[in-house]
Structure 1
């Protein structure tokens, strides 16, 4: 049984998601960055969406491939009887890659654009959170341990990862701030959320989801900064090399940073 003993000798059950620590946020940002470079490596470098022959189908094919991986990862995660760090972070990485390709398909292949895509995806995230709250009474990560809450949790994550990709591209490209400017915007927003966490009485659940959503556009613009051409403001690194390097870094985080499950709320 997935539980621990308190000092009073009372069994406290664990959730099937990690405790929210500094290590969690470092790993999460790295995973979102990998999602950007990995998704682009498949759709742009492999399937040719940056070539003159691009027809938009590369984004759709990439989305189908990564969605299948994500679905399997979540299915295994839900069937697991306890928190397993490697499995959890694999599912997170799968969600970031499918979020990248899906956002690109919606905003580029379907022609909705970054603003329209961001608005649509924000509505989706808020809708899932609202339905989760209505169905189970809470959207706190400490409640995630049963199939119903896990289903809502992973659906929210996938939607937020997709939103973050579109939002990051919108700020960096359409708003004209560039990758470094967008990094400062989203990094600053995360810093504000962190200050509110320590200095205010705002809902910790609200602040968690705000930070969780903001890490995705931050990772998206960092990923773009790494692999986009120099003339576009990037470093022009190999998408595949950047993806492998980030994967090694994340593996190191999972291996060497303390990984413990969040305690369920009572």
Structure 2
């Protein structure tokens, strides 16, 4: 049965609880971990399992679609579902850029430009439609659609721009980690000390965590003769996925405790 125009508009605009977590320290830690997994796990699937970039992209894109469908059906932020979608979209964003550069031979300058334009266009359309880019106001399906599209482009852009900078400057993995971490610190300083807008600071930092995580993943996983620590993609991916799982369990437990305390306060207020 098809939906009427009125029903579609109602779905797009029906208020929900905010679907995005607060950008706390734990948020940024998981984001960097997820980004690192996006780099190492994509390499593992495409190279170690001999799936190739094209097949790996199709498989991971299918899993991402399933994860997003589950995410969109929720009425609020659920740590396990949200972060599963982030991990998968980090892998897919990496693979999109890798397909363009490695399989189709598109220069990194071109892919960086394309994804930068796509991201800006997403923000323009998002603001024109909703009059806000705040992650504290992702309370309708329409806004959430813009949010996840922006997330996808940040990963693709971060991959292309990070590779471009690393190749052009000939940076080692350790130097690249310090460079991108320093850039994020500058953004944070601009926000807290120079009053850079919260939305602008968030999205710039979000983009920068992609090359930071990729450089960290390469530093840990690549062979020693290539400038890495030789841990391999399997060990690195497993280590970071485990860390993400532990933090998700922590967030879920914290969320449940918060909900329980809120319920107790409401009962106490009702008894007065």
Q: TM-score range by the shorter chain?
A: 0.7 to 0.9
Q: TM-score under structure 2 normalisation?
A: 0.84
1:41 aligns with 2:44: yes
Task: Please point out which of 10, 24, 31 is paired with 2:27.
Answer: 24
Query: 2:143 matched to which residue of 1?
Result: 149
**Deviation beyond 4 Å, 4+ runs, structure 1:** 257-260
Shift of residue 257, structure 1, vs aligned partner? 4.7
Shift of residue 256, structure 1, vs aligned partner? 2.4
More strand per residue: 1
Cα distance per residue 1:53-97 (max 9 Å; x no partner): xxxxx2121111111111111111111112100000000000111
Q: Structure 1 CA distance, aligned partners of 2:155 and 2:126?
A: 17
Query: 1:133 matched to which residue of 2?
Result: 127
8 A Cα contact 2:16 2:76, kept in partner? no
Query: 2:215 matched to which residue of 1?
Result: 221
8 A Cα contact 2:220 2:231, kept in partner? yes
Gaps of 5+ in 1: 1-11, 49-57, 261-266
Task: Please point out which of 61, 65, 83 is paired with 1:67.
Answer: 61
8 A Cα contact 1:139 1:205, kept in partner? yes
More helix per residue: 2
Q: TM-score under structure 1 normalisation?
A: 0.86
Task: Please point out which of 222, 245, 250 is paired with 1:256.
Answer: 250
For the residue of structure 1 that corresponds to 2:170, the secondary structure is: coil
1:203 aligns with 2:190: no
Task: Please tell me whether Structure 1 or Structure 2 has the larger radius of gyration of its CA atoms.
Answer: 2
Query: 2:224 matched to which residue of 1?
Result: 230
8 A Cα contact 1:40 1:101, kept in partner? no
Gaps of 5+ in 2: 1-14, 256-272
For the residue of structure 2 that corresponds to 1:15, the secondary structure is: coil
For the residue of structure 1 that corresponds to 2:34, the secondary structure is: helix
Q: Structure 2 CA distance, aligned partners of 1:44 and 1:167?
A: 22
8 A Cα contact 1:33 1:219, kept in partner? yes
